[in-house]
Amino acid sequence: MTHQNLLVELFVEELPPKALKKLGEVFASQLCAQLRTLGLASHDSVATPFASPRRLAAHITHVAAKAADKAVQQKLMPVSVGIDAQGLATPALLKKLQALGADVSDPVFAVAALRKAQDGKAEALFYDSLATGATLDVGLQQALLATLAQLPIPKMMSYQLESDCELPGWSSVNFVRPAHGLLALHGNTVVPVKLLGLSSGKLTQGHRFEASMSPVEVAHADDYAATLLRDGSVIASFGDRRFAIVQQLAQAAERLGPGFEVLMDDALLDEVTALVERPNVLTCAFEAQFLDVPQECLILTMKANQKYFPLVDTRGKLTHQFLVVSNISPPDASLVIGGNERVVRPRLSDAKFFFDQDCKKTLESRVAGLDKVVYHNKLGTQGERMARVCAIARSIASLLGDATAPVMAGEARQSMLLAVETAARLAKTDLLTDMVGEFPELQGIMGGYYARHDRLGADIAHAIEDHYKPRFAGDALPRNMTGVVVALADKLETLVGMFGIGNLPTGDKDPFALRRHALGVIRMLVEKDLALDVHALVAAAVPAFGERIANPSVALLDFVYERFAGALREQGYSALEVDAVLALRPPRLGDVPRRLAAVRAFAALAEAPALAAANKRIGNILKKADADAVVDAHVSELLLQEPAEKALNAAMQDITPRAQAQFDAGDYTAALQTLAALRAPVDAFFDSVMVNADAMDLRLNRLGLLKTLHQAMNQVADLSRLAA
């Protein structure tokens, strides 16, 4: 059987740049998968994707010219149904065989050709045949059609084939962009297939302007990338082209001097890679006067609108020079450079105009305008929303002040309350500015700039800028406590409001980013180690809504702890550790990492398995006892009779006060390790003491002893969750 490498290329008009990388990957992987299903490619076959602005291609190794024939075994029917009393085929069997293409001219021979085998309790007839393997031309045709159906096309186009343009309505084709060429090579042999009205060949097109010949002929499947580069001036591989751009950007910055750094994020690199076939990085510049505008505005307009790469100095400050990835490499690049500099100038002028106009009005003067902006039809306007955020922020600041009362003096506390209220009231006012209207991504950031312009101070400016943080996983937290309080208030308002009206995330749909908001609250409480009770925070936020919502506290707290559990597991904690700690719903989330560390250290002790098992046993005993009567965590020494229960009580009186003191001091690891000394008396108690004694007073006393022990052992975590 002949095996060669296969190359398939679909040559099209310019593909959507943001979708190109994914389209190329799926085209190659799906085509290979389809060929494997048909037996034309093996599990060892490797698919290499190629994707440029005008082509999708795949190189697949070890593809057969014809798939191997395959033995097929098909169950027909029970013997009693297929063969009559004379041993001849019944009409039902003949009809089935005829449908399968078997020879039924001789009923006796037809029966003899079948195989009888036991199938469950009955004997059945089986028809064995040999399925002919697909040839590559037939199989590739099927694989290509199936692959196109699987492509993640963002928006389909409908167009007419050039050859049939006189028959409108009969020749329309649907694809992401009009296709103009199909290349299919098995080694050096053209595979005859048709797709989107095109017939395959070995010709393609190179760069629009810089190809050395047109069309470009590919002699062999393995020569595709090299031929396109040599004759077509195209780097066909998306990854190779991206790498070339990164290298050229770094080299261009290095040529400018040691103090320059390129701002290149992955999304911009992918998009620019999808816009060029043979990248050529050029250095351009704009007038230094534009640097008076906040650099975030200039950076965003250059990256989002022009796909340029800004340059910053060693301090992270934007410079007036920037880099452009051109798709052409003329001997004299001055015209290309000048053209790009002329194009960016109006964009920067617009940014400067927006900033200058916005600075003519204070943030305070914009507060009233928020009443005209609808937030949600059930929750009112942005003005009403910010009134709620202010109320929640005041409650949080008050709770935080109470928790730190010995540290925070009255004057400092009043100053923080004033800063929090000011920042919360002004946090959303930049939504009404021209700059944020043009660039919504700058909300918060521009508010910080305008607050500084209004001389509100760095504390309030930073709080306004940071109140959206953390915006995503790994994002920085607010820089100061004012920002933390406002950010907590903003996220809690969203969570409580949306849960209160029943607007909850479902599956992968979360239009109001409630999962992200919950994780933001968790991160601030944990990483800032705030002395705040998450239950109290939610309870403090609910009154701000008045009668607008139903109280969502229970469902919302469940949601928060679920998100926290998922985040902790992603950080490397085991499901058992997380379950043990969060089962207690610790109100102060900042304590959870210390509790987890304590549980991990406890689980490593030799006493841990026995104590966890005993804890589980105690929990089950108490649960059953509580169903009959309420068990009081109280022990009367007068009712202790057995030596083992006296020994356990004595050990607890010695050990639990020390463990309690360690727990109260926040040393959870030491508290659990101290309690580990109870293993021996606990084991002895269960070995020799009957808990459910006939005498009610003895039984309740022993249950009280166990409940006292259970409470002492489960303050850090529910240790029974560690039991196997």
**221 contacts 7 by C-beta, under 8 angstroms:** yes
The answer to whether residues 453 and 531 belong to one domain is yes
Instruction: Give yes or no for a cis peptide into 470 (omega within 30° of 0).
Output: yes
Single residue among 358, 379, 399 that ends a domain in this structure: 358
The answer to whether residues 197 and 97 belong to one domain is no
Q: Which of 432, 429, 423, 494 is nearest to 460 (CA)?
A: 423
Q: What is the CATH number of the domain that holds 222?
A: 3.30.70
The confidence score (pLDDT) of residue 724 equals: 65
Q: Which of 92, 73, 74, 79 is nearest to 125 (CA)?
A: 79
CA 663 to chain centre: 37
The confidence score (pLDDT) of residue 85 equals: 78
Is residue 579 situated within a structural domain?
Answer: no
**79 contacts 122 by C-beta, under 8 angstroms:** yes
Which residue type, as a one-letter code, is found at position 340?
Answer: N
Instruction: Please state, in angstroms and as integers, the Cα–Cα distance from residue 139 to each residue in 39, 144, 360, following that order.
Output: 9, 9, 69
The answer to whether residues 334 and 478 belong to one domain is no
DSSP string, 74-124: EEEEEHHHHB-TTSPBPHHHHHHHHHTT---SSHHHHHHTSEEEEETTEEE
Report how many domains make up the chain: 5
Q: 125 by DSSP, 3-state: which?
A: strand
The confidence score (pLDDT) of residue 377 equals: 93
Give me the helices (H) in 128-235, please.
136-150, 224-232
Report the range of poorest mean pLDDT among 552-561, 689-698, 709-718: 689-698
37: tokens are: 């299903």
Give me the helices (H) in 312-433, please.
334-358, 382-403, 410-426
| pLDDT above 90: percentage of residues in the chain | 76
Which residues, 6 or more positions from 295, have their beta carbon under 8 angstroms from its beta carbon? Answer: 317, 318
The answer to whether residues 474 and 379 belong to one domain is yes
Q: For residue 147, is pLDDT > 80?
A: yes
Q: For residue 550, is pLDDT > 60?
A: yes
Which residues, 6 or more positions from 203, have their beta carbon under 8 angstroms from its beta carbon? Answer: 181, 183, 215, 216, 217, 218
Q: Which of 23, 41, 21, 44 is nearest to 32 (CA)?
A: 41
**160 contacts 172 by C-beta, under 8 angstroms:** yes
The answer to whether residues 47 and 157 belong to one domain is yes
Q: Which residue range(s) make up the domain with 126?
A: 73-131
Q: Which of 619, 649, 634, 626 is nearest to 718 (CA)?
A: 619
Cα gap 322→681, rounded to integer Å: 74
Q: For residue 166, is pLDDT > 60?
A: no
Instruction: Give yes or no for a cis peptide into 215 (omega within 30° of 0).
Output: yes
The answer to whether residues 126 and 141 belong to one domain is no
Cα gap 66→136, rounded to integer Å: 6
Which of 404 and 513 is assigned the larger pLDDT?
513
Q: 339 by DSSP, 3-state: which?
A: helix
The answer to whether residues 463 and 440 belong to one domain is yes
Q: For residue 93, is pLDDT > 90?
A: no
Under DSSP, the state recorded for 62 is: E
Q: Which of 638, 530, 645 is nearest to 589 (CA)?
A: 530
Instruction: Give tens-digit pLDDT for 244-295.
Output: 999 999 999 999 988 899 999 999 999 999 999 999 999 999 999 999 999 9
Segment 662-668 long-range contacts (CB within 8 Å, at least 24 positions apart): 663/715, 663/716, 666/591, 666/594, 668/591, 668/594, 668/595, 668/597, 668/598, 668/716
Is residue 196 situated within a structural domain?
Answer: yes
Q: What's the mean pLDDT when you consider all of the chain?
A: 91
Instruction: Give tens-digit pLDDT for 485-512.
Output: 999 999 999 999 999 999 999 888 898 9
Instruction: Give tens-digit pLDDT for 477-490.
Output: 999 999 999 999 99
The crossing angle, in degrees rounded to 10, of helices 643-664 and 696-713 is: 30
Give residue 163's pLDDT band: very low, low, confident or very high (50, 70, 90): low
Q: Give the pTM.
A: 0.81
Mapped to the 3 state alphabet, what secondary structure does 300-329 carry?
HHHHHHHCCEEEECCCCCEEEEEEEEECCC
Q: What is the CATH number of the domain that holds 465?
A: 1.10.3210
Cα gap 236→186, rounded to integer Å: 19
Length of the chain: 724
Q: CA Rg, the chain, in Å?
A: 37
**519 contacts 472 by C-beta, under 8 angstroms:** no
The answer to whether residues 127 and 139 belong to one domain is no
Q: Identify the sign of the CA torsion 683, 684, 688, 693.
A: negative
Q: Identify the sign of the CA torsion 173, 175, 177, 178.
A: negative
Which of 104 and 634 is assigned the larger pLDDT?
634
Task: Work out the average pLDDT over 304-313.
Answer: 95
The answer to whether residues 262 and 375 belong to one domain is no
CA 596 to chain centre: 25
The confidence score (pLDDT) of residue 628 equals: 60
CA angle 98, 102, 106 (to 5 degrees): 90
Report the range of poorest mean pLDDT among 144-158, 160-174, 489-503: 160-174
The confidence score (pLDDT) of residue 67 equals: 86
Identify the top-confidence range among 9-13, 254-258, 619-623.
Answer: 9-13
Identify each DSSP E strand in 200-273 by its residue range: 203-204, 216-217, 261-262
Is residue 153 situated within a structural domain?
Answer: yes
Relative to beta strand 55-64, strand 3-12 is antiparallel
Single residue among 232, 265, 291 that ends a domain in this structure: 232
The confidence score (pLDDT) of residue 82 equals: 77
Under DSSP, the state recorded for 197 is: T
With b meaning 16 or more CB within 10 Å and e meaning fewer, what string describes 463-494? Answer: bbbbbbbbeeeeeeebebbbbbbbbbbbbbbb
Task: Work out the average pLDDT over 598-626.
Answer: 89
Is residue 675 situated within a structural domain?
Answer: yes
Which residues, 6 or more positions from 201, have their beta carbon under 8 angstroms from its beta carbon? Answer: 181, 182, 183, 184, 190
Which residue type, as a one-letter code, is found at position 439?
Answer: F
Which residues, 6 or more positions from 101, have their beta carbon under 8 angstroms from its beta carbon? Answer: none
Is residue 298 situated within a structural domain?
Answer: yes
**700 contacts 669 by C-beta, under 8 angstroms:** no
Task: Work out the average pLDDT over 347-369.
Answer: 96
Element holding 60 (H helix, E strand): strand 55-64
Report the range of poorest mean pLDDT among 18-32, 113-127, 238-252: 113-127
The confidence score (pLDDT) of residue 123 equals: 86
Give residue 356's pLDDT band: very low, low, confident or very high (50, 70, 90): very high
Chain position carrying tokens 């580990």: 676
Which of 625 and 225 is assigned the larger pLDDT?
225
Is residue 583 situated within a structural domain?
Answer: no
The answer to whether residues 260 and 335 belong to one domain is yes
Q: Identify the sign of the CA torsion 218, 224, 230, 236.
A: positive
The confidence score (pLDDT) of residue 324 equals: 97
The confidence score (pLDDT) of residue 102 equals: 75
The answer to whether residues 397 and 444 belong to one domain is yes
The confidence score (pLDDT) of residue 106 equals: 67
Q: For residue 655, is pLDDT > 80?
A: yes
The answer to whether residues 299 and 320 belong to one domain is yes
Cα gap 480→463, rounded to integer Å: 7
Q: 389 by DSSP, 3-state: which?
A: helix
End-to-end Cα, the chain, rounded Å: 56
Q: For residue 407, is pLDDT > 70?
A: no
| pLDDT above 70: percentage of residues in the chain | 95
The confidence score (pLDDT) of residue 249 equals: 97
Is residue 584 situated within a structural domain?
Answer: no
Cα gap 423→650, rounded to integer Å: 57
Q: For residue 403, is pLDDT > 70?
A: no
Cα gap 31→564, rounded to integer Å: 41
Give backbone dihedrals phi and psi of 278, rounded to 5 degrees, phi first. -140, 95
Single residue among 539, 572, 605 that ends a domain in this structure: 572
Q: For residue 128, is pLDDT > 80?
A: no
Cα gap 635→537, rounded to integer Å: 37
Q: For residue 75, is pLDDT > 70?
A: yes
**133 contacts 70 by C-beta, under 8 angstroms:** yes
Q: Identify the sign of the CA torsion 366, 371, 373, 379.
A: positive
* Beta pairing partners, 311: 262
**52 contacts 235 by C-beta, under 8 angstroms:** yes
Is residue 289 situated within a structural domain?
Answer: yes
Give residue 110's pLDDT band: very low, low, confident or very high (50, 70, 90): low
